[in-house]
Structure 1
Amino acid sequence: MAAPGGPARSRPRSRQTAVAYLFLTPALLFFALFLLLPLLFALLLAQSRWAGFDLADIEPVGLANFTGLFAHGATFLTPVLTNTFLYALGTVVLATAGAVVVATCIDNLRCQGLWRTLYFLPVVTTVVAVGNVWKYMYEPGGLVNGVLNALGLGSVALLQNPGTALPSVVVVQAWASLGTAILILTAGLKAIPESYYEAAELDGARPFTVFRRITLPLLRPSLVFVSITQFIAGLQSFALIIVMTGDGGPGDATDVAALEMYRQAFTYGDWGGASAAAFALFVLILAITLVQLWLFRRKGREV
């Protein structure tokens, strides 16, 4: 007679584990083929010199690609990473602040599904369409300068001026990602119990006090998720910049890390330098994400 918990009981459990892995096999193969293998290949390229044609031409160079990113006179740290950080930070601030305001307003309106759908439309619109529409709006004869002229201000070449090009694209990126943030924050608002608002109303609390003392603290988990995902998307974005500025111009005013990687690989044929920049960007994203999580958790709520 087998002892309790002995081989007789372990056989069904082992069989269940084998069946579970059998069902997981397609997903694991997909993961290995399209994520793990490219990741390992990119790590190999980051330590090599390769023009992107014959695999036999891969030449190991050690850490030379990484040291070259931060060598004296290199542009990766400044202005590329500086522009990337400013681009991502501006996107987070504008999109999150705008989404909080809009989500709060939608939560007090009728036909909420209609309003959420309208704000979500830019998310499902192609980047090329969004970028070109805003590009024409930014032209000297476009809508934005038309509004400035109506206010008695002169026209501004927003995308041609190094001082205004990056903020102009940041506004478009934030506007295009507003819909996703609104959906997440409206779901977070729905999860807040009405009893808190009823108690605040009985106490005579003002709307702004209710928003600051009740809504924002209880909305913090959703805000953490939105801010982190928006920041990561901002650090990785480059398609909108290509559509609106062409090559990160004027000069290098809108040159960001993802765009620099794209140019190094597909324009200059430096796949090793592009891969090294990709891993440097990965480390930056990981560090910033961990710092964001630590800061939000330190403020009193575990997410």
Structure 2
Amino acid sequence: MATVLHENEQRSPRGGASRRAGSVPSGMAKARRREAIVAYAFLSPSLLFFAIFLILPLIFAVVLALSAWGGFDLTQIEFVGLDNFAEILNPASTFVAPILVNTLVFAAGSVVLTLVASVVLANAINRLRFQGFWRTLYFLPIVTTVAAVGNIWKYLYEPSGGLINGVLNALGMSSVRFLADPDTALPSVVVVQAWASLGTAILILTAGLKNIPETYYEAAELDGAGSWRMFWNITLPLLRPTLLFVLITQVIAGLQSFALIIVMTGGGPGDATNVAGFEMYQQAFNFGMWGIASAMALVLFLIIFAITLLQLWLFRQRGEETS
């Protein structure tokens, strides 16, 4: 009997300890739930804003892409399935050619010009005095409205009285109808888009250049490496993450751009400068074809998403090869 009582006395503290140990996780779980509730309460304004201005419009755009709607009475939305996509992706449709072709050419041309010019200029600014002044100077087009930029360049491109043609005439060359000729209209707008995008790219690239340690250049200089070799073997590899960010943002901006087209050419002459963003605007606000416009927007979104994934994959593959 005494032995049994002694064993019970030995078990009871362990049982109490186990009960107390079991109560700790329960208390921690309640504390975590309270913290989560408080966190979501603080995040609720942002989540509400996100839902109202992003999630709901996205859902509505998908619904419209599968419907026919004139843009006024929501009760008149008519479900048409994939008819809108069949119409715009028809090979005979102007959305495939020239609109999508123009969009890709516009984005590719502006991105290439912006990247090359911004890398050269950022590298030059990084070696100059008064770097803040030069960065501010190149950033000014970003803070200028698209309407102002487009109209200034329209005057520069004027066949008679424009500054560019004035210089060409002074050199003995004939005037060029930059925005009135279908062969030169799109390249002319591409140059303006690249010029207007330089400021942001230079600002980001100069920040990336500042993060490259000078010791790499000093060691390469001691080994007898020239400026070009240091740029190719040190600057570009270490600048790859910054270049990737600039490339992705510039491609997205180029594929979505339409404000400059509206100001400078209105999509003309003909469809020479008509891009996807401008065509969406036309279909929705001028023709009242909101279903067609939404279908175009979803197709453009998928193209941008696919190109972005491809860029990330290529840069990752390139990084694995160099490492």
Residue by residue over 1:90-114, the C-alpha shift from the partner in whole angstroms, topping out at 9 and shown as x without a partner, is 1110011100011001000111111
Greater C-alpha Rg: 2
- Is residue 201 of structure 2 the alignment partner of residue 171 of structure 1? no
- The answer to whether the 8 Å contact 1:2/1:8 transfers is no
Shift of 1:14: 1.1
- Is residue 34 of structure 2 the alignment partner of residue 15 of structure 1? yes
- SS of equivalent residue, structure 1 residue 201: helix
- Written as runs of structure 1 = structure 2, the 5 A alignment for 1:112-131 is 112-131=131-150
Q: TM-score, normalised by structure 2?
A: 0.91
Which amino acid in structure 1 is aligned with residue 191 of structure 2? V
Q: Which of 221, 239, 248 pairs up with 1:228?
A: 248
- Written as runs of structure 1 = structure 2, the 5 A alignment for 1:120-269 is 120-140=139-159, 141-246=161-266, 248-269=267-288
Q: Which has the higher helix share?
A: 2
- The answer to whether the 8 Å contact 2:90/2:96 transfers is no
- Written as runs of structure 1 = structure 2, the 5 A alignment for 1:23-172 is 23-140=42-159, 141-172=161-192
Residue by residue over 1:45-91, the C-alpha shift from the partner in whole angstroms, topping out at 9 and shown as x without a partner, is 00000011111110000000011111242111100000000000011
Distance of 2:41 and 2:254 partners within structure 1: 38
Find the counterpart in structure 2 of residue 297 from structure 1.
Answer: 316
In structure 2, list runs of 5 or more residues that go unmatched.
1-19
Residue by residue over 1:192-223, the C-alpha shift from the partner in whole angstroms, topping out at 9 and shown as x without a partner, is 01110000110111111111111111111111
Shift of 1:147: 1.9
Distance of 1:257 and 1:83 partners within structure 2: 8
Distance of 2:242 and 2:68 partners within structure 1: 43
Which amino acid in structure 2 is aligned with residue 288 of structure 1? I
- Is residue 299 of structure 2 the alignment partner of residue 280 of structure 1? yes
Residue by residue over 1:136-178, the C-alpha shift from the partner in whole angstroms, topping out at 9 and shown as x without a partner, is 0000121111222233221001000000000000000000010
- SS of equivalent residue, structure 1 residue 176: helix
Shift of 1:5: 5.3
Distance of 2:24 and 2:300 partners within structure 1: 49
Query: Which consecutive aligned stretches of 4+ in structure 1 deviate over 3 angstroms post-superposition?
Result: none
Distance of 2:21 and 2:27 partners within structure 1: 6
Distance of 1:299 and 1:5 partners within structure 2: 50
- SS of equivalent residue, structure 2 residue 179: coil
In structure 1, list runs of 5 or more residues that go unmatched.
none
Distance of 2:31 and 2:192 partners within structure 1: 56
Aligned length: 301
Shift of 1:115: 0.6
Distance of 1:196 and 1:2 partners within structure 2: 56
Distance of 1:121 and 1:4 partners within structure 2: 63
Instruction: Among all aligned residue pairs of Structure 1 and Structure 2, give the percentage whose two residues are the same amino acid.
Output: 66
